[in-house]
Amino acid sequence: MCPEKLLFSILMISALLTVALSLSTPLPPEEIEALKRIAEVLNKPYWNFSVDPCSQEAGWVSQNVAKGKENVANVRCSNCNNDGSICHVTSIVLKEQKLVGTLPREMALLPFLQEIDLTHNFLSGTIPDEWATLPLVNFSLHGNSISGQIPSWIGKITTLQKLVLEANRFTGPLPKELGYLRKLTKIEFSANGFSGELPDTFSNLTNLLHFQIGSNNFSGKIPQFLENWTQIRIMDLQASGLQGPIPTGMSLLKNLNDLRISDITGNSAFPQLEGMQQLQYLILRNCGITGEIPSFVKALSTLNLLDLSYNMLSGIIPSTFGSLNHVNFIFLTSNNLSGSVPDWMLNDKNDIDLSYNNYTFIGGNGKTCQLNNINLLGNLHKDDDQSEGVPCLETIPCNGENSAIYINCGGEEVTINDKTYEQDSDNNGVSTFRLGTNWAVSSTGSFLDSSDNNNFIATAKRELSMPNSELYKDARITPLSLTYFGLCLSNGNYSVKLHFSEIIFSDYNGHASPGRRIFDVYIQGGLVLKDFNIRDEANGSEKAIVKTFPAVVTRKTLEIRFHWAGRGTTTVPMSGSYGPLISAISVESAFKPPSKSNLFFIGITSAAISAAILLIFVAWKKGYFRRNDAIDTDLKGLETVSFSLRQILTATSNFSSSKKIGEGGFGSVYKGRLPDGTVIAVKQLSANSSQGNHEFINEIGMISALQHPNLVKLYGCCVEGNQLLLVYEYMENNSLARALYGPKQCQLKLDWSTRHKICIGIAKGLTYLHEESMLKIVHRDIKATNVLLDIDLNPKISDFGLAKLDEKENTHISTRIVGTIGYMAPEYATRGYLTEKADVYSFGIVTLEIVTGKFVSGYINKEKYHLLDMAYAAKEKGDLLSLVDKRLGVEYDQDEALGMISVAILCAHSSPLYRPSMSIVLKMLTGETDIPDFVPDPYRFGENPGYEFGKNPYEMAGSAGSNIKPFYTGKFGNGFREWESKSDSASYDSESNSHLLASSAP
């Protein structure tokens, strides 16, 4: 062939190949290049670029995906020109592909991309700003670890219809710009760390069908504008952080199919849901709802689940509610419902939980905890006399008394270290009470969104490599509440070990699962673990973690409860993956149980012991044994674990100086570690000081009776030889004082949100001490050094050794002034008048320290200052924000700062009658109650307003000749009257108390 013809043939073949490639690959070259870059970032090696990405062939579109599975990898093209010669990538769906790394900015190089779905992967980082130009319609990052705030530019993507960011690590407020996306039909933001109020602009989202924001840190009230969403079908506000009441406008949402609201503060009326004929799921759990269940509930004909648990509902359920027999699940646990159990419930085969109400029932078998599918645990019976225990448990016969219990929760019988853990492999049910040999278990709840909603046992997906793996390969799970009871136990002190391992959430190649299982644990009714996350505690999935707690058995029964409060993820790795999970429980006595042979000798020697007691009594009367006996008497009956001195010495390396972490009011404080790994703080007191002994016993007696997340937990004590020791939980971040203004190398960078959280936490702790605990406690020495910070910078009030027990609930005179200069209330420091308002004053000072980052008093440019004087001066100048810690710059919430400073000034008023109670303070800080306008404090400026000590300023405000002006003229209005009615110190009887003033001097 001649060269000319050969060249012509080559050119023709080349042209044909070019045409063929362009016909088989209609994507523009720049989009193919973009896909290659995305593949590199996401590590997608099986994207086959020798095949047309628009061909829908294997590698570009998942083939034969099993029904119910989400492992989908699809790249789809559309938006082609008229002859189909050029198309564009419009959808990238990569679900459950085990993708790691960050979100690829290169997605922005696909200008026609309408859908991004990266559900259930291991991606992290933030949303790239480069994506702002994409014409997205559907956008899902569900189930990853994406962090940061939602970019405001998303509000400019007017094409967006579905925005799914559930189960990530987003924080901060929602941008108001989202409210401009009028085409939005779905918002799923649950299981993140969002904060702030819902923007008012959300009232524009009238096309919403699906709105989920549960498990977040939002604030403010549930907005009334929700009534605008008349098309809404699914609304989930479980544990969102929003506050009550439930808006009355809910009655307008007639298309609701699924309504879930839980864990809101404040009281609410039952929302008007009459006429909602499409409602299938109704959850109003722990919403503070009072009153009776309204009659319209019986007419909700499509209802499949009704959950009104943990409210304050009262009254009876009438027989006319028999129309609810079509409802598969009814949960009414922990209310105040009474009367007889309706016949229609007794004959119903559906699952019903009536536990912990006031129902009366006499069954065929007498007192019962379970009848058919009805859980009746914790109810009364007609022959009960308001028993303090659990009536149906008290009738269970005991064959002797036990001193140990071992349960393999969810698994078969197994022997570990010569201890046999009993099997607990029955699946149980949605509302079940079941007896073991010397224990029982009660389970409540249904995994609503799971296809397997009746499976309450989890099994590890692969073989576990941890020690004693037989205990952890199975576990019991529950969607709401799981309670184990130890029965027929000898009364006394016990050690409770809870064995956990996260076997459902799997990590991948060193990347943590985005799933977060969060729940609370109670022992004997006291909260011992708040927002507990197994994986975080164990530093990974499929790793064992054992938590040990002391417990006191007084009625032969031990109660251990695991409770889901709506926190954490619920849809990772699949829907229904949430709720408490427990692998095993071991309970062992802290005392040595008597053997059978010992019981024989006890009878033989009883007479000799009686004689010995007589001799000891005579010796005691003569003064022998007085000191140790006094200590034993003080310790008698205290509900706390007793540690041996050997244990403490081992834990603290013989009180090594290297373990010393501070000085307490009566001695040194040491860091220690128990054999099980528990880190402790040991306060060493002097046994030679009678005052020290008294304070030591005083602390044990009160702290062991108090359980609250914002109080330091007392693990136990040691009284041996000349040692008096308190064993506390260890606080990783020391004190608030050190964090704010300690040595520079010890200070912590506390951002504004952390400071605000600390302030609210202290207020919650004091509210509990003053108003919520069974005992009424006045601390008397609230200051920054007595506020400790845990590893997450949560505040915990410490040092109750100086607390004053107020059993009579009235104003009293302290016989010994105890406190710290600068923090003490004036009436207490000068006159010895002690009420809870003294703590309120101290709280005001500490709040100013939190805002300013300064000690209560000191020197600035060689000039003496006091924070309260500075606050009043700033108030006079109208410049309160000048008090804010300069280290924060502009990174703080101005409204919150103004609120905190105003509340602090109010708390530190010179007259206790002008100070609010701590519960009102807490409401002010959380926005539930308005903060009043400034209340003048004439004493601070040396004026005499005509106020006489011992007179009620409410009366004097309008009296003739008084210079005090009415002070309830601000937003708060007559709300000050609420303080007056709640205060235990509304007036002072100065005449009757005058004879005590002399003894109140230090």
pLDDT tens by residue, 825-844? 988 887 778 889 999 999 99
**pLDDT at residue 642, as a whole number:** 72
Whether 859 and 974 share a structural domain: yes
Whether 722 and 765 share a structural domain: no
Of 354-368, 439-453, 467-481, minimum mean pLDDT range: 354-368
Of 161-170, 393-402, 484-493, minimum mean pLDDT range: 393-402
pLDDT tops 80 at residue 83:
no
For the chain, what is the domain count? Answer: 5
Is 13 within a domain?
Answer: no
- Extract the tokens encoding 881: 């924000």
Asked if residue 476 lies in contact with residue 482, where contact means CB atoms within 8 angstroms, the answer is yes
Mean pLDDT of 650-663: 84
Tell me how far apart the alpha carbons of residues 156 and 146 are, in angstroms, rounded to a whole number: 21
pLDDT tops 50 at residue 499:
yes
CATH number where 689 lies? 3.30.200.20
**pLDDT at residue 244, as a whole number:** 87
**pLDDT at residue 506, as a whole number:** 82
Q: For this structure, is 806 an active site residue? A: no
Is 852 within a domain?
Answer: yes
Whether 725 and 740 share a structural domain: no
Q: Is the dihedral of CA 445, 447, 453, 459 positive or negative?
A: negative
- Extract the tokens encoding 731: 């606080």
- Top-ranked range on mean pLDDT: pick from 71-80, 435-444, 802-811: 435-444
CATH number where 152 lies? 3.80.10.10
CATH number where 746 lies? 1.10.510.10
**pLDDT at residue 950, as a whole number:** 36
Listed in sequence order, the residues at least 6 apart from 25 whose beta carbon sits closer than 8 Å to its beta carbon are: 32, 52, 53, 54
**pLDDT at residue 972, as a whole number:** 33
Is 994 within a domain?
Answer: yes
**pLDDT at residue 830, as a whole number:** 79
DSSP per-residue string spanning 355-378: -SSEEE--BTTBS-SEETTEE-TT
Classify each residue of 452-486 as buried b or exposed e, where b means 16 or more C-beta atoms within 10 Å of its C-beta.
Answer: ebeebbbebeeebeeebebbbbbbbbbbbbbbbbb
- Predicted confidence band of residue 714 (pLDDT cuts 50, 70, 90): confident
Whether 846 and 994 share a structural domain: yes
**pLDDT at residue 246, as a whole number:** 92
Tell me how far apart the alpha carbons of residues 364 and 378 are, in angstroms, rounded to a whole number: 18
**pLDDT at residue 495, as a whole number:** 93
CATH number where 550 lies? 2.60.120.430
Residue range of the domain that includes 355: 302-388
Q: H or E element: which one contains 716?
A: strand 714-720
| Percent of the chain with pLDDT strictly greater than 90 | 42
Whether 341 and 420 share a structural domain: no
Tell me how far apart the alpha carbons of residues 37 and 698 are, in angstroms, rounded to a whole number: 68
In 118-273, DSSP assigns E strands to 122-125, 138-140, 145-148, 162-164, 169-172, 186-188, 193-196, 210-212, 217-218, 234-238, 258-262
Q: Which value, in Å, is the radius of gyration of the alpha carbons in the chain? A: 33
| Percent of the chain with pLDDT strictly greater than 70 | 77
**pLDDT at residue 611, as a whole number:** 43
Whether 442 and 519 share a structural domain: yes
Whether 931 and 806 share a structural domain: yes
Of 103-117, 518-532, 623-637, minimum mean pLDDT range: 623-637
**Where is pLDDT greater, at 509 or 364?**
509
Mean pLDDT of 739-761: 93
pLDDT in tens, 227-279: 999 999 999 999 999 998 999 888 899 999 999 999 998 778 899 888 888 99
pLDDT tops 50 at residue 620:
no
Nearest by Cα to 483 from 425, 445, 444: 444
Whether 940 and 912 share a structural domain: yes
Please check if 683 is assigned to a binding site: yes
Tell me how far apart the alpha carbons of residues 824 and 769 are, in angstroms, rounded to a whole number: 18
3-state secondary structure at position 818: coil
**pLDDT at residue 618, as a whole number:** 40
Whether 753 and 711 share a structural domain: no
pLDDT in tens, 551-600: 888 888 999 999 998 898 888 878 878 899 999 999 999 877 655 445 44
Residue at which a domain ends, from 523, 558, 589: 589
**pLDDT at residue 238, as a whole number:** 95
- Predicted confidence band of residue 691 (pLDDT cuts 50, 70, 90): very low
Q: What is the mean pLDDT of the chain?
A: 80
Residue at which a domain ends, from 388, 408, 442: 388
**Where is pLDDT greater, at 845 or 743?**
845
Is 33 within a domain?
Answer: no
pLDDT tops 60 at residue 18:
no
Whether 863 and 770 share a structural domain: yes
**Where is pLDDT greater, at 296 or 383?**
296
Catalytic pick from 348, 781, 799, 839? 781
**Structure-token match 């064959």, residue found:** 399
Mean pLDDT of 863-870: 86
Is 308 within a domain?
Answer: yes
CA geometry: angle 153, 157, 162, nearest 5 deg = 110
Whether 404 and 316 share a structural domain: no
Tell me how far apart the alpha carbons of residues 578 and 590 are, in angstroms, rounded to a whole number: 34
Tell me how far apart the alpha carbons of residues 301 and 197 are, in angstroms, rounded to a whole number: 35
**pLDDT at residue 156, as a whole number:** 96
Is 650 within a domain?
Answer: yes
Residue at which a domain ends, from 676, 698, 729: 729
Asked if residue 126 lies in contact with residue 64, where contact means CB atoms within 8 angstroms, the answer is no
Tell me how far apart the alpha carbons of residues 822 and 807 are, in angstroms, rounded to a whole number: 28
Is 79 within a domain?
Answer: no
Whether 725 and 741 share a structural domain: no
- Predicted confidence band of residue 982 (pLDDT cuts 50, 70, 90): very low
pLDDT tops 50 at residue 505:
yes
Is 871 within a domain?
Answer: yes
**pLDDT at residue 4, as a whole number:** 52
- Extract the tokens encoding 629: 């006996």
Cis (ω within 30 of 0) for the bond into 743? no
Tell me how far apart the alpha carbons of residues 365 and 59 are, in angstroms, rounded to a whole number: 64
